[in-house]
A and B are shown apart, each in its own frame.
Chain A
């Protein structure tokens, strides 16, 4: 019986993705390191401020891991939440694990803590780059209800790879924000098919924004994360030049495309309208060699 990654809590995901019973939490709930800002807004706080960080093993290798709990404030980043993540990343500089795993589920900056959240995200960005600069890969897993948006959407793309499920979403501004600001003609956030074609796992994988598409199963995420342990970060000028060329091509090739289906067709996918219906394994077979 497969366990859905989407349905699982952050703690359940960590337990299922890492080697059994290998996870040891740092600053557990009993430490009560909570947000100092929510009480004055009459908003309930969580004992772990919505992020679990700690040490564990993946396929026997030492890793550091963090998991954001989407159920608490949409996984959004506040002062303490962000500091736990920064501290974990900086810990990697000291303990030099094989990799850092980020089980991301976040709407981005926690608006209730606005400025502190924004600065925290920026500090996370710097810390991710420092860890990768030290040769340690940072691997993102994205498959929760709240997706990975806002500043965390930028953080995710600073990492070595994003492993995403078809349920997963990855972007910057959420569809609702765009609809509220620009109108429903610009982006109908209730058109689920449209949302997933635009920011969902399958499109992100085809576009080259995500590294691998997996089924919505903790076992599938675990297997992909194990494969990703072999990654070596490359922040050389050459690597960035290559990325720059690819991103320039993306605008050239697809800048006039109205919908993801047009992009998929341009990538040589036959029957692109059928892609949303395919299971992950079939999707990967059909799109093999066609990704941007």
Chain B
């Protein structure tokens, strides 16, 4: 879905969002007040500048708008692949963004991630996946890597990976798999403003993704193994 159309559906009461290249930010009106919006378009490749910019906006919200909820609408093909980004330490910029989101959460800002188009790899890790809760539109594309690239690196035939994709949510790109594995809480359909309102009202607490993954039978071991290590004797 187009970002502008999305914003209209999320905020029928009104919104003021500025678009600058592949970056956008602003606010949307809900029944309970303003929600800060930060996002990207066009499956942006996130390099140091964009990660830095998003982080800066998060900090600005924390500084200037106490407790204002933050909605992350990051459409990304993943990290920018370039020697320059590596040279400058893009992993550090991604981590910085992650820390800024954490600071916001700890300062009482509800952070909601909505995957509205693409979410891939490092770009996904450093943004939507750090929200209190991450949601997605049904048409969203979520993945670690495309199958041909995975095939090249693992040396497993693409056909084999495709077959296995049918059997297990573990490999296949797809929002349904991330839903089943617990990373995405729910898909938003129909009245998106209503979905947002419910999300804003939902309780937040510990990282519930392992519990969800187990309940939905998408990730059977993550929860139990973590529990065993946490509480196990030596």
Query: Which residues of A approach B to under 8 Å, CB–CB?
Result: 24-27, 33, 36-37, 40-41, 53-55, 79-80, 82-84, 86-88, 90-91, 94, 109, 111-123, 125-127, 129, 133, 149-151, 153-158, 170-173, 175, 177-178, 180-182, 186-187, 198-199, 203-204, 207, 209, 235-237, 240-241, 243-244, 247-248, 250-251, 254-255, 257, 259-260, 263
- Indicate if the CB atoms of B59 and A172 lie closer than 8 Å: no
Please measure, in the bound complex, the distance between the C-alpha atom of A251 and the C-alpha atom of B232, giving whole angstroms: 45
10 more A-B contacts (CB under 8 A) besides A154-B126, A209-B92? A40-B168, A79-B170, A86-B210, A87-B227, A91-B229, A154-B98, A178-B86, A240-B103, A247-B92, A257-B87
- Indicate if the CB atoms of B91 and A114 lie closer than 8 Å: no
Q: Tell me, yes or no, whether B215 is within 8 Å of chain A by CB.
A: no
- Indicate if the CB atoms of A87 and B230 lie closer than 8 Å: yes
Which among A90, A115, A125, A180 is the interface contact of B171 at CB below 8 angstroms?
A: A115
- Indicate if the CB atoms of A33 and B183 lie closer than 8 Å: no
- Indicate if the CB atoms of A251 and B229 lie closer than 8 Å: no
Query: Which residues of B approach A to under 8 Å, CB–CB?
Result: 48-49, 52, 55-56, 59, 62-63, 79, 81-83, 85-96, 98-100, 102-103, 106-107, 121-122, 124-126, 129-130, 143-145, 150, 152-154, 156, 160, 164, 167-172, 177-178, 181-183, 207, 209-210, 213, 219-232, 234
- Indicate if the CB atoms of B125 and A118 lie closer than 8 Å: yes
Which among A36, A154, A157, A172 is the interface contact of B220 at CB below 8 angstroms?
A: A36
Which among A91, A237, A260 is the interface contact of B59 at CB below 8 angstroms?
A: A237
Closest Cβ neighbor of A88 among chain B residues: B229
Chain B interface helix/strand/loop/mixed: helix
- Whether A114 touches B59, Cβ cut-off 8 Å, given contacts A27-B232, A158-B99, A171-B91, is no
